[in-house]
A and B are shown apart, each in its own frame.
Chain A
Amino acid sequence: MIEIRDLHAGYGDTEVLQGIDLDVRAGEVVAIVGANGVGKTTLLRTIAGLIAPSRGSITAEGEAIGGLGAHRVVERGIVMVPEGRRLFPRMTVRRNLEIGAYAARARPRLKQSLEEVYALFPILREREDQLGGTLSGGQQQMCAIGRGLMALPSVLMLDEVSLGLAPIAVKRVYEAVRAIRDRGLTLIIVEQNVGQALKVADRAYVIQGGRVVLSGTGRELTNNEDVRRAYLGLTEHA
């Protein structure tokens, strides 16, 4: 579905990604984990088209998408839910969701998609006339995921969906992520909450210094001693 080869990208003269190789197959949930500042978000932003790669390639179903520009990437069904939610603060929940279907591929199904999102997150229907900026963190996150779904993605990228949320909200959000996975949507999840991400992921990549240092199934990495020590904060006996 998505193939990334020797990807280099960054901001200005700072190269954050230093040769990433990564594959995402259709229907898979892939987690990208690692400490703060290793390039996880940069990787998603580059796939999403917000950043142009300085070297290497990104292909989606055989078509090169690196450097196409975000609006063209969305039209190919690759959609990113950004870190920090980034709802349009002075639009209602409903408007936020509707603008999610801006892409030409999503517009004709707008009404149907909206019903599906409301079915997944009933709280959003209750709050549909409230301004985005007035929702609680967990509700904002649900609205942001719902807005991403409105674009009818074939690949949905979630950037730090649990960041800054109360434990109960994290639980709700991840229930939704599982529900989305069970519909067969391909997911790429970036998380600092490594335990949470590995539990839901089929496979995972560990990134360090802008490179992939380890990859495997969620279970393999959960049991990997280095990962446990470095990212899960678990000891051998835990």
Chain B
Amino acid sequence: MQAILQLLVSGVLLGGVYALGALGLNLIFGVAKVVNFAHGEFLMLGMFAAYWLMTLTGINPYLGAPIIGAAFFLVGLAFYAGLMRFTIYKPELTQVFATLGLSILLQNAALVAWSADYRTIQIMPAGWESIQVLGAYVPTNRLVAFLYAVAILLAVLVFLRSTFIGRAIEAVSQDLVAARLMGIDPDRVFLMTFGLGIAITGVAGGVLMPSFYAFPSVGSFFVLVAFVVVVLGGLGSIAGTILGGLLLGLVETGIGYVAPDLKEATHFVLLILLLAVRPHGLLGVKGAEKETLK
């Protein structure tokens, strides 16, 4: 009984973090139909941003998350305006190569700038690394990251539902031509979506930093997780991203308990099964996996 409670707590905490890590990827895909292969590198940059913020100014990433978010919003705008804008109505392969190229560039730039060392930061004071809830062990780093995930996911949902620009983003994701006929400027919507998606990704990297090591190629682990979460929950669906994250967190934690060696394999097995059986995911729109901008 105790073990099951522990697995549930760990699984949900991990799942929330996974959902947050995948949200930016799914948002950008849902609206601009771009699969961002550099997503993991933006997470990596978020982690390093948190590291340097803490190391140079002493501001820990839990408090500094808004600063990281604002900075990465600008990074997202630059990402769209400087690169993705030129690929947006082009065939998918153009976008794949553009983002894949950027991914390689960012990884190697990070390697040159910061070397391949593993870095971490300590935030929670000694003795506060974990707390006990109903007898279950809860790592505080994961708990804070989870709370951030919940807050950001809710904030994004509210933003999309209740602001004009949020609704415009939603409209473009559902029918680009109809959105244009409503007076929506798609270029502005794409710009805002990339800003928002990368801001979320940067913050995700930042609040993950204290529970993971940062190094230049750490993104390639997270991007795989993010792809599984997005495909599992549903392409273009934010509710799906939350569900996908939680499911993956629970499954991974459960399997890790029974057969620790197979923990990593769950990602691949789930991904392959889903792509074969239900490629639009649990909550995704049927056919979303084939969607391109028209």
A residues neighboring B (CB under 8 Å): 48-50, 69-71, 74-75, 79-82, 86-91, 95, 98-100, 102-104, 106-107, 147, 151
Contacts and interface: CB of A to CB of B under 8 A. Distances in A.
B174 interface: yes
Contacts of B171: 88, 91, 99, 102
Q: Which residue, of A48, A71, A90, A151, has the highest number of chain B Cβ atoms within 10 A?
A: A71
A88 to B, nearest CB: 4
B179 to A, nearest CB: 8
Given A86-B175, A88-B175, A102 B168 contact: yes
A50 B167 contact: no
A90 B181 CA distance: 17
B182 A147 contact: yes
A70 B170 CA distance: 18
A41 B82 CA distance: 35
A165 B174 CA distance: 23
B181 A107 contact: no
A102 B178 contact: no
B182 A91 contact: no
B183 A50 contact: no
A99 B167 contact: yes
Given A86-B181, A99-B171, A102-B182, 7 more contacts: A71-B180, A74-B183, A82-B178, A86-B177, A87-B175, A87-B178, A99-B167
A71 B177 contact: no
Contacts of A151: 182-183
A48 B181 contact: yes
A131 to B, nearest CB: 11
Given A91-B170, A107-B164, A100 B182 contact: yes
B285 interface: yes
B181 A50 contact: yes
Q: Which residue, of B168, B179, B180, has the highest number of chain A Cβ atoms within 10 A?
A: B180
A69 B183 CA distance: 9
Interface in B117-172: 164, 167-168, 170-171
A103 B179 CA distance: 11
Given A99-B167, A99-B171, A102-B168, A90 B285 contact: yes
Determine the main DSSP class of B at the interface with A.
helix
Nearest to A81: B181
Contacts of B178: 82, 86-88
Interface of B: 164, 167-168, 170-171, 174-175, 177-185, 285
14 contacts: A70-B181, A87-B178, A88-B174, A88-B175, A90-B285, A91-B170, A91-B174, A98-B167, A99-B167, A99-B179, A102-B171, A102-B182, A107-B164, A151-B183
Nearest to A95: B167
Nearest to A80: B181
Given A90-B285, A102-B168, A107-B164, A69 B185 contact: yes
A79 B174 contact: no
Contact of B180 (A50, A87, A88): A50
Given A86-B178, A87-B178, A107-B164, A102 B285 contact: no
Contacts of A80: 181
Contacts of A107: 164
Contacts of A106: 183
B181 A102 contact: no
A154 to B, nearest CB: 14
Contact of A90 (B164, B168, B174): B174
Contacts of A86: 175, 177-178, 181
Contacts of A81: 181
Contacts of B174: 88-91
A71 B285 contact: no
A104 B183 CA distance: 9
B170 A79 contact: no
A12 to B, nearest CB: 13
Q: Which residue, of A90, A98, A103, A104, has the highest number of chain B Cβ atoms within 10 A?
A: A90
Given A82-B177, A86-B177, A86-B178, A103 B167 contact: no
A93 B8 CA distance: 39
6 tightest Cβ-Cβ pairs between the two chains A and B:
A74-B183, A103-B183, A70-B180, A86-B178, A71-B185, A88-B174
Contacts of A104: 183
A103 B183 CA distance: 5
B286 to A, nearest CB: 11
